[in-house]
Amino acid sequence: MNALMMQQPLLISSLIEHAERHHGATEIVSRRVEGDIHRTTYRELAERSRRLANAVAALGVGSGDRVATLAWNGYRHMELYYAVSGSGAVLHTLNPRLHPDQVVWIADHAEDQVLFFDLSFLPLVEAIASRVATIKAFVVMTDRAHMPAASSAIPNLLCYEELVEAASDRFTWPRLDENSASSLCYTSGTTGHPKGALYSHRSTVLHTYAAALPDSLNCSARDVILPVVPMFHVNAWGLPYIACMVGAKLVFPGPFLDGKSLHDLFENEGVTMSAGVPTVWQGLLAHVEANQLQFSTMRRTVIGGSACPPAMMRAFQARYGVQVLHAWGMTELSPLGTACCLLPKHAQLDEADRLAVQAKQGRVVFGVDMKIVDGDGQALAHDGKTSGELLVKGPWVIRSYFKGEGGDPLVISDGEAWFPTGDVATIDADGYMQITDRSKDVIKSGGEWISSIDIENIAMAHPGVAMAACIAAAHPKWDERPLLVVTRKPGSTVDRAELLAFFDGKIARWWTPDDVVFVDVIPLGATGKMQKNKLREQLVGYQLPTLQQPATAAAR
């Protein structure tokens, strides 16, 4: 028997419509790349999103076409979130921290039609404009007064504010199929080429409901939310959608992510909640400590993307009264999978024991199912001790990468299809998951991926190198940094400096390994594959020369 309920598709446009109608006067504050503070409201943002939807259509963008952005967190980027997805096109948030060659590869793979970019990315766009195959219009996200002079490197350079002003505000959000694609985000978190996670309206709205819950990110209309996590990292963990759903005031930091800029914004705008990777909080805590400051309105911060060090939790909680919510997720999960909220029984724990619970990545949010399995796909005990590969499934987990890149990613366990995360974890009897290792060979530095394969390929191109393996070495600031392990060819005298110089111009500077270790043999498995886990064991506790000084990554 069919139920007698209304059929209403779950659409991203319904979020901005809701915010406009019910939270119209709530503010969205942005520190712009132009340097000033800009204020708008959900009402204005909704109206400008409709104008922008008309403008995007006038640029020839049709249903399902990809529209790319190279942009920081700001209100114009948020307008694009709604205008592009809401009108049936697909928003593709490019990561500007990648090497230009990778940006070109990804834009071509996505077949982006139009690129919207912040002024600060002009040099990057000039470097790629003649190389991208499908982009037919380049829009600078600024007003006429700040437009750069016509650039011979960029054909068809348009001004965002002129497009918005010229377009009509009359636009009816189409009643799309909720399963149609809404946004696209590439990850290099696996092996091979970057792969696209293609989200739908349905997956995004369901993720928004779940992520806003009290034991998830815990957001409400009483919050002032400042997403430090970039809007080009899995849609800023969904916060631009969550804020519309709950009607929270939003504060966008633009490119200014240093401790002082963030603290000023927290205090001036009464921020109650924020979210970001551990690296960015180190800068903030250092600034607050050095200047003996406090947080007068901040109540909670979500920390994820990499494991949150307990010392950071202690500093936020004990010293500044800011509750830390440790969360785990992936691009392939939209991203939220688990959040580490405490249970009533934890109230009795002393600080050290409570921090031990909070150091775990947490319990699944409703909608996601997870389990750990052994090498044969057999489920393992949830005893907090046994570790195995973490598998997940749920309505906001990908079933395939964009264009089938990398083949079918799913594995079958107990007759059902699951997504293998590449993380190795334990799950305890209360359902708290804790990451203990990673089976994927990538390095996560300051919340961004570095492909060990790309680094190895470059090293192997050096005439003096016989074999090269790149592994992650622990770093207190960046969490992990690349360490290159090399065997020389007979007669070769290549040294550290020569090899590191060989990377110049071939990859982003912050991808350059922090050190090179020359060895006689790199251990190989039965199939001839390098056994990086053995190398990691051999080099555990390796002291990088960059431990005391800023890593190369600081340059980014």
Residue 388 binds to ligand AMP (criterion: CB under 6 A)? no
| Interatomic CA distance for residues 192 and 207, integer angstroms | 28
Q: Pick from 178, 423, 456, 480 the residue near ligand AMP by CB under 6 A.
A: 423
The answer to whether residue 328 is catalytic is no
The answer to whether residue 448 is catalytic is no
CA Rg value for the chain = 23
| Interatomic CA distance for residues 423 and 332, integer angstroms | 13
Residue 306 binds to ligand AMP (criterion: CB under 6 A)? yes
Whether the link from the prior residue into 335 is cis, omega within 30° of 0, is yes
* Part in contact with ligand AMP (CB under 6 A); list of ranges 156-164, 244-252, 418-426, 499-507: 418-426
The three-state (H, E, C) secondary structure of 162-196, written as one string: HHHHHCCCCCCCCCCCCCCEEEEEEECCCCCCCEE
| Interatomic CA distance for residues 156 and 127, integer angstroms | 15
| Interatomic CA distance for residues 452 and 441, integer angstroms | 7
Query: Of 472, 494, 490, 493, whose CA–CA distance to 541 is shortest?
Result: 472
Q: Kindly identify the residues of this chain, within the stretch 231-250, that bind ligand AMP according to CB under 6 A.
A: 234
Compute how many residues bind ligand AMP; rule: CB under 6 A: 21
| Bridge pairing between strands 479-488 and 465-475 | antiparallel
* Part in contact with ligand AMP (CB under 6 A); list of ranges 66-74, 95-103, 301-309, 398-406: 301-309
Handedness of CA 525, 527, 189, 516 (dihedral sign): positive
Catalytic residue, from 40, 93, 142, 187: name it: 187
Question: Whose Cβ is closer to ligand AMP: residue 202's or residue 444's?
Answer: 444
- Nearest approach, Cβ of residue 94 and ligand AMP (Å): 14
The answer to whether residue 449 is catalytic is yes
Q: Are 110 and 181 in contact (CB under 8 A)?
A: no
* Part in contact with ligand AMP (CB under 6 A); list of ranges 96-104, 108-116, 322-330, 374-382: 322-330
Q: Pick from 74, 253, 304, 513 the residue near ligand AMP by CB under 6 A.
A: 304
* Part in contact with ligand AMP (CB under 6 A); list of ranges 23-31, 309-317, 421-429, 454-462: 421-429
Q: Kindly identify the residues of this chain, within the stretch 189-218, that bind ligand AMP according to CB under 6 A.
A: 189
Residue 272 binds to ligand AMP (criterion: CB under 6 A)? no
| Interatomic CA distance for residues 269 and 297, integer angstroms | 9
- The first and second tokens of residue 380, run together, are 């393992």
* Part in contact with ligand AMP (CB under 6 A); list of ranges 50-58, 113-121, 148-156, 298-306: 298-306
Residue 65 binds to ligand AMP (criterion: CB under 6 A)? no
* Part in contact with ligand AMP (CB under 6 A); list of ranges 3-11, 161-169, 304-312, 504-512: 304-312
Catalytic residue, from 72, 237, 281, 449: name it: 449
Q: Is 466 helix (H, G, I), strand (E, B) or coil?
A: strand
Question: Whose Cβ is closer to ligand AMP: residue 13's or residue 187's?
Answer: 187
Residue 330 binds to ligand AMP (criterion: CB under 6 A)? yes
Q: Cα 236 to the chain's mean position, in Å?
A: 6
Ramachandran angles phi, psi of 420, nearest 5°: -80, 120
CA distances from 275 to 71, 231, 240 (A): 18, 12, 12
Beta bridge partners of 379: 373
| Interatomic CA distance for residues 12 and 65, integer angstroms | 16
Residue 443 binds to ligand AMP (criterion: CB under 6 A)? no
Q: Kindly identify the residues of this chain, within the stretch 346-385, that bind ligand AMP according to CB under 6 A.
A: 361
Query: Of 107, 90, 82, 93, whose CA–CA distance to 14 is shortest?
Result: 82
Question: Whose Cβ is closer to ligand AMP: residue 307's or residue 410's?
Answer: 307
Residue 420 binds to ligand AMP (criterion: CB under 6 A)? no
Question: Whose Cβ is closer to ligand AMP: residue 9's or residue 406's?
Answer: 406
Residue 229 binds to ligand AMP (criterion: CB under 6 A)? no
* Residue 230: DSSP 8-state: -
| Interatomic CA distance for residues 315 and 62, integer angstroms | 49
Residue 446 binds to ligand AMP (criterion: CB under 6 A)? no
H or E stretch at 139: strand 137-140
Catalytic residue, from 195, 360, 393, 444: name it: 444
Question: Whose Cβ is closer to ligand AMP: residue 159's or residue 442's?
Answer: 442
Q: Pick from 54, 85, 279, 421 the residue near ligand AMP by CB under 6 A.
A: 421
Q: Pick from 200, 331, 451, 546 the residue near ligand AMP by CB under 6 A.
A: 331
Q: Is 35 helix (H, G, I), strand (E, B) or coil?
A: coil
Minimal CB distance to ligand AMP: which residue? 331
| Interatomic CA distance for residues 444 and 20, integer angstroms | 38
Q: Is 287 helix (H, G, I), strand (E, B) or coil?
A: helix
- Nearest approach, Cβ of residue 471 and ligand AMP (Å): 15
* Part in contact with ligand AMP (CB under 6 A); list of ranges 11-19, 57-65, 73-81, 327-335: 327-335
Beta bridge partners of 164: none
- Nearest approach, Cβ of residue 335 and ligand AMP (Å): 5
Q: Pick from 59, 307, 411, 517 the residue near ligand AMP by CB under 6 A.
A: 307
Q: At which residue do the structure tokens 């759903």 appear?
A: 245
Question: Whose Cβ is closer to ligand AMP: residue 33's or residue 211's?
Answer: 211
The answer to whether residue 332 is catalytic is yes
Residue 54 binds to ligand AMP (criterion: CB under 6 A)? no
Ramachandran angles phi, psi of 441, nearest 5°: -90, 50
Contact positions toward ligand AMP, by CB under 6 A?
Answer: 187, 189, 234, 304-307, 326, 328-331, 335, 361, 421-423, 435, 438, 444, 449
> Catalytic amino acids?
187, 332, 444, 449
